[in-house]
């Protein structure tokens, strides 16, 4: 009995000591700014930039926090009203949730606010009401078609397609030369969104979701054409259409066994990892048959936001200003293979050449699923779509089932508020 007491006492003492030591660091003379990132892929870039920032601002210490599943961790911190000083997060449903909690400062009067490309700041403003600027975009991602230039040349295609009909025509051309035009990694259902977002984003205005939430419109009334275009692509993929995983499709492309993948710019590093000589480039998915109407699907991959309650307001502003100045923005997008969201900075990587110009000119549409309710599993519906196609169901029936299910599932996900 005595022994147990001793052990317990020792354990408690240890805990108390640990608690003391964690409080200590706050008492040094420097101001500490907590920089919270919901992404982990770009931590090495942040570390380099922060080191430079700290050497220029000796009185500020930046504490970088980037936990796994950062979006969820951030939400649990919101419940305790424990907001990091500076937030770096995606312009997605997590950001929508944070803006609803009303904890972010308005940045529109800050000097760095003017640096941002207007198309992206406008996009972020759709996520909340009011004319504030709650997020300063740092980097954008972009969707499109990754294509193997060598295979295109072998099939005698010299120019990337600019309309839907040209796109279909080119795929037939590839097929006639014995080249598989597309691979669909639908085993991982999220990849279907890479296609759907581009089609629906171009076909429908962003205001659709707001109207749908108020039950003023429906998928059945508006998304028939988008679904038809999705269906038109399926015959150009592999036969076992739901059996291929994301990694396996990347391997197929890297081995030159398939000419195109439809997804985002983040796929390219994976392709290069599999085959460093792969001759890959990107073009936007030409959804419309009018070339002038086609837009690039691009969203804010990282935005910087500032807490309303921060004690080190000036230091936070300094950090955001530092990260979004031209030189550091360039460093970020080069290392992370991203698109710039700051005026006067260019992504010159040849592999992105086909989509960069449109994005730079603001000729962009947002990912529709950024505004979907978070429990709405559109990816699963598209996977079912592909499975029905594989099982030989009639196209019109597939589309009707899909649209009806989309409406049902939207209603069952849209329970809150």
Closer residue to other proteins (CB): 333 or 386? 386
Total binding residues toward other proteins, as defined by CB under 8 A: 41
Binding flags for other proteins, 168-207, as an x/- string (CB under 8 A): ------------------xxxx------------------
SS3 assignment for the chain: CHHHHHHHHHHHHHHHHHHHHHHHHHHCCCEEEEEEECCCCCHHHHHHHHHHHHHHCCCEEEEEECCCCHHHHHHHHHHCCCCCCEEEECCCHHHHHHHHCCCECCCCCCHHHHHECHHHHHHHHCCCCCCCCCCEEEEEEEEEEEEEHHHHHHCCCCCCCCCHHHHHHHHHHHHHCCCEEECCCCCCCHHHHHHHHHHHHHHCCCCHHHHHHCCCCCHHHHCHHHHHHHHHHHHHCCCCCCCCCHHHHHHHHHCCCEEEEEEECCHHHHHHHHCCCCCEEEECCCCCCCHHHCCEEEEEEEEEEEECCCCCHHHHHHHHHHHCCHHHHHHHHHHHCCEECECCCCCCCHHHHHHHHHHHCCCEECCHHHCCCCCCCHHHHHHHHHHHHHCCCCHHHHHHHHHHHHHHHHHHHCCCC
| Binding to other proteins, residues 382-401 (CB under 8 A) | 383-384, 386-387, 390-391
Question: Would you say 75 or 114 has its CB closer to other proteins?
Answer: 75
Which residue stretch of 35-43, 171-179, 282-290, 405-413 sits at the interface with other proteins (rule: CB under 8 A)?
A: 405-413
Return the residues of window 219-248 that contact other proteins according to CB under 8 A: 239-245, 248
Closer to other proteins by Cβ: residue 185 or 286: 185
In angstroms, give the least distance from the CB of 252 to other proteins: 11
CB of 69 to other proteins, least distance (A): 9
Binding mask 98-117 for other proteins (x = CB under 8 A): --xx----------------
**142 counts as binding other proteins under rule CB under 8 A:** no
Task: Report the nearest approach of other proteins to the CB of residue 175 (Å).
Answer: 20
Tell me which residues touch other proteins (CB under 8 A): 1, 4, 72, 75-76, 78-79, 97, 100-101, 186-189, 239-245, 248, 373-377, 380-381, 383-384, 386-387, 390-391, 408-409, 412-413, 415-416
């Amino acid at each position: 009995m005595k022994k147990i007491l001793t052990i317990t006492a020792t354990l408690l003492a240890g805990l108390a000591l640990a608690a003391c030591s964690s409080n200590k660091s706050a008492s040094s003379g420097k101001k500490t700014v907590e920089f919270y990132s919901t992404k982990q892929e770009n931590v090495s870039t942040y570390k380099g930039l922060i080191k430079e920032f700290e050497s220029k601002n000796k009185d500020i210490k930046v504490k970088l926090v980037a936990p796994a599943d950062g979006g969820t961790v951030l939400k649990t911190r919101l419940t305790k009203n424990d907001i990091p000083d500076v937030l770096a997060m995606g312009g997605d449903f997590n950001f929508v949730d944070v803006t609803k909690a009303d904890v972010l400062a308005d940045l529109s009067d800050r000097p760095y606010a003017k640096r941002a490309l207007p198309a992206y700041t406008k996009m972020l403003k759709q996520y909340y009401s009011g004319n504030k600027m709650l997020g300063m975009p740092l980097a954008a991602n972009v969707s499109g078609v990754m294509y193997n230039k060598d295979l295109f040349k072998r099939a005698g295609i010299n120019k990337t397609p600019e309309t839907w009909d040209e796109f279909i025509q080119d795929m037939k051309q590839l097929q006639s030369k014995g080249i598989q035009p597309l691979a669909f990694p639908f085993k991982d259902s999220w990849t279907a969104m890479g296609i759907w977002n581009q089609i629906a984003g171009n076909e429908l205005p962003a205001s659709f979701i707001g109207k749908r939430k108020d039950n003023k419109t429906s998928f059945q009334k508006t998304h028939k054409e988008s679904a038809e275009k999705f269906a038109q692509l399926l015959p150009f993929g592999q036969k076992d259409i739901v059996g291929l995983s994301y990694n396996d499709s990347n391997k197929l492309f890297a081995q030159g066994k398939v000419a195109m993948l439809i997804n985002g710019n983040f796929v390219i590093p994976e392709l290069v990892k599999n085959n460093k000589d792969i001759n890959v480039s990107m073009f936007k998915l030409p959804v419309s048959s009018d070339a002038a109407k086609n837009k690039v699907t691009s969203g804010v991959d990282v935005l910087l936001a500032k807490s309303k309650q921060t004690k080190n307001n000036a230091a936070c502003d300094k950090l955001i200003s530092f990260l979004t100045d031209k030189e550091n923005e360039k460093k970020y997008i080069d290392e992370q293979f991203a698109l710039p969201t700051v005026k006067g900075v260019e992504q010159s990587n040849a592999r992105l050449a086909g989509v960069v110009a449109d994005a730079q000119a603001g000729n962009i549409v947002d990912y529709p699923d950024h505004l979907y309710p978070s429990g709405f599993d559109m990816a699963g519906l598209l996977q079912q779509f592909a499975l029905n196609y594989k099982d030989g169901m009639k196209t019109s029936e597939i589309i009707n089932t899909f649209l009806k299910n989309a409406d049902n599932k939207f209603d069952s996900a849209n329970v809150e508020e």
